[in-house]
A and B are shown apart, each in its own frame.
Chain A
């Protein structure tokens, strides 16, 4: 199967809608409002970043979109209706690679494909090979997880998430544990892959620059309770370089906004 053929097969990316979602965390002593009335719409093929300090509920929101966590109020709509559990149309890339050590790189990419109906064994293999090539790891097809570097592990995780051709890709700080050089390479790779594969991506990060580098739109979140405070549209042309001064200027504006929201919510708490 040729590369172009596979690209043509990509399903039309779908819209994702978050409607009035709230979530409490209950501990024996207290109830914490982790997410407060979140509304969000992601267009087809859009790259959206959620940025905020730790504790603002961005990972919880991503889990709710994935169907791994249930919202206490509100709902999430995906193209296949109301989200009420995890499904292969919304694949998640976690902060840790979460690769299976009992499988090699190829086996990990195959895992989701084998569970996708309507694919023959040979098609699965071709698609897995194609995605390992896409992330530049065809030579490490049969390497075991512990034999890969941190950056390579996340590349395999990316290939694994892309291979079953999900409508939406949910990424939870996938590059947070990597060194700066590897991270910058992956910013280039992910933009390239996003352009080629036309995926809808929701990307969670605490790094404002990272969000500006990757997102079409950036949503700013603040903690206690977790809220979406502001939305920024990033007008920069792609591919973007995280070290460019234009990008830095926008990132600075967002950082200032973030700071003022933090002061506000602290004053509100007092």
Chain B
């Protein structure tokens, strides 16, 4: 209760500062619209459905690409962890491609796939997959060897060892890799949507870009707020439950 009051007070003060800044008249309202103008845009866009539609388009692209990235990245990371040769080759490639900002995939994706949904998907997958590969590999390599020894004496081997010992033991690494993969995927998707118009669906990045073209700052800020909210919601809904589970079982984190 007390903590939520503090949160409300904090954001209330931020809004007040914003309001005071616009009321001072030092900045043109075209460049810095007041909070209520942004709220009005969000309200209208929510009512005519354009905001919801763009959000659905964007989140759908993101989720599909992200899930594909994990489905490829997890087994590939586990595979790399089994051999030094694979780590020196595929692992090095993954590390190189992970350091490549994922927006750099956009030109390539456009040339290969044209202005299609698949190009978007490709960019998101490339943003996700390398982080997941590297984190899974690191996680599997950092497991205390005694876990595998104990499991072997109890009759665990092969696939069972991977799914019931190595993967769960590597979970703290895997979850942080998935979180990083999500961040990269989200950033690259926004860049791609701003960069290219795809006629099969207007995402948040696209309506953000229209805001600029229309010189409509309330739309620009409104969509930015929406993007921030989605990021927060993803953190709360997708990652917090996992992190809480890990903290509870491993006894890590501050109570």
Contact = CB atoms under 8 A, between A and B. Distances in A.
B169 A102 contact: yes
A100 B165 CA distance: 8
A164 B150 CA distance: 13
Given A100-B147, A100-B169, A147-B251, A116 B155 contact: yes
B107 interface: no
B153 A144 contact: no
Contacts of B169: 100-102
Contact of B249 (A96, A101, A112): A101
B29 interface: no
A87 interface: yes
Contact of A112 (B146, B147, B155, B251): B155
Contacts, number: 64
A90 B154 contact: no
Contact of A115 (B146, B155, B249): B155
Nearest to A69: B149
A91 B147 contact: no
Interface string A144-181: 11110000000000001000100000000000000000
A261 interface: no
Contact of B153 (A88, A145, A146, A147): A88
Contacts of B249: 101-102, 144-146
A147 B156 CA distance: 26
B11 interface: no
Contacts of B146: 94, 96, 98
Contact of A111 (B149, B154, B248): B154
Contact of A68 (B152, B160, B165): B152
Nearest to A117: B155
Classify the interface of chain A: helix, strand, loop or mixed.
Answer: loop
A256 to B, nearest CB: 35
Nearest to B165: A100
A144 B150 contact: no
Nearest to A102: B168
Interface in A82-100: 86-88, 90-92, 94, 96, 98, 100
B154 A88 contact: yes
Given A87-B153, A88-B153, A94-B150, A144 B165 contact: no
A114 B250 CA distance: 23
Nearest to B251: A146
Interface string B138-151: 00000010110111
A54 to B, nearest CB: 18
Nearest to B154: A112
B109 interface: no
A223 to B, nearest CB: 23
B250 A101 contact: yes
A66 interface: yes
A12 to B, nearest CB: 20
A219 B218 CA distance: 84
B56 interface: no
B251 A94 contact: no
B171 interface: yes
14 contacts: A68-B153, A86-B153, A88-B153, A88-B154, A91-B154, A94-B146, A98-B147, A100-B168, A111-B151, A115-B154, A115-B155, A116-B155, A145-B251, A146-B251
Top 7 A-B pairs, shortest CB-CB distance: A146-B251, A112-B154, A115-B155, A102-B168, A98-B150, A88-B155, A86-B152
Given A68-B152, A100-B169, A116-B155, 5 more contacts: A66-B153, A102-B169, A115-B156, A145-B249, A146-B251
Interface of B: 144, 146-147, 149-156, 160, 164-165, 168-169, 171, 248-251
